[in-house]
A = this chain, B = another copy of it.
Amino acid sequence: MADLTPGTREALLRVGTSTLTGVLYRRGLRSVFMHDVSPIRPETPRMAGLAFTMRFIPAREDKDAPGAPGRGQVQRTAMEECPPGHVLVIDARGDARAASAGDVYAGRLKARGCAGIVTDGGFRDTEGVFKTGLPAYHRRASSPPSPVAHHPADLNLPIGCGGVAVYPGDVVVGDCDGVVVIPPNIVDAVAEEALAGTLYDEFAEQEVARGRSLVGLFPVAGEEAKRDFEAWKRARSGGR
């Protein structure tokens, strides 16, 4: 798959991860939402893009002493080669004892047009990372430099992140609640279905706010609710 179509990207940025996980669940996909991975700030912008992966293994003193030759190469290559529009997803084994990346690396991804960065470990200098404007998701802040706990092993292999399998090229979407992974071969259909679901949710929220009962309305729409929804959609688009 080359890249997300503009329509799909736009849809993924509009619908929430709750709607997407619902659509994926109905297709039999339950192991797609990362656990203990959140935006670094509540105001972090939404994120959508294809996955480019980096894998850490634990650091060991004979491989990761300060000044060990070539150690940082893999990380730097990740920042230089993650394609524009892609999300760098890092397997840190859920370990936030040392940083997965920091503000200069995040800044480089942003400057190169990447779509975001995700780790199940932690970022350092989260204030600086936030200022780059790159959507960033992690477990919790962690200041120590990465070799304190991590050895960068390789790029663009299938990994685990937040307990979820991420294959290079998978679609990765983030909002204030967390990060979901979508197989690329179904992403267009999933995005479309999610967009329709989002519209119905909006209708149901308004009805509920006006005092309507959930019976026949939510989570499953009854006949009357379906008719009302159609009317609501018509009214919304100016009666056309």
Of B29, B176, B181, which contacts A126 at CB under 8 A? Answer: B176
Which residues of the partner chain B approach A14 to less than 8 Å between Cβ atoms? none
Report copies per complex: 6
A97 at the interface (CB under 8 A from B): yes
Given contacts A107-B205, A107-B209, contact A143 B28 (CB under 8 A): no
Report yes or no: B165 in contact with A63, Cβ–Cβ below 8 A. yes
A177 to B96 CA separation, bound complex (whole angstroms): 12
CB-based contact A30/B144 at 8 Å? yes
| A219, CB-defined interface residue at 8 Å | yes
Q: Which residues of B contact A147 (CB under 8 A)?
A: 25
Given A21-B143, A31-B59, decide whether A211 and B177 contact each other with a Cβ distance below 8 A.
no
- Determine whether the beta carbon of B208 is less than 8 Å from that of A145: no
Whole-angstrom distance between the alpha carbons of A197 and B144 in the complex? 15
**Interface range on chain A (Cβ under 8 Å from partner):** 35 or more
Contacts of A204 in B (CB 8 A): 104
What residues on B are CB-neighbors of A38 within 8 Å?
Answer: 140-141
A160-B80 contact in complex given A30-B144, A38-B141, A177-B141, C-beta closer than 8 Å: no
Whether A177 pairs with B25 at a CB distance below 8 angstroms is no
Whether A7 sits at the interface, judged by CB under 8 Å, is no
Residues of chain B contacted by A63 (CB below 8 angstroms): 165, 167
Near B by CB (< 8 A), chain A positions 96-153 give 96-97, 99, 102-105, 107-108, 110-111, 124-128, 132, 140-145, 147-148, 151, 153
**A residues within 8 Å of B by Cβ?**
16-22, 25-26, 28-33, 35-36, 38, 41-42, 57-63, 65-66, 72, 76, 79-80, 93, 96-97, 99, 102-105, 107-108, 110-111, 124-128, 132, 140-145, 147-148, 151, 153-154, 157-160, 163-165, 167, 175-178, 180-181, 183, 201, 204-205, 208-211, 213-215, 218-220
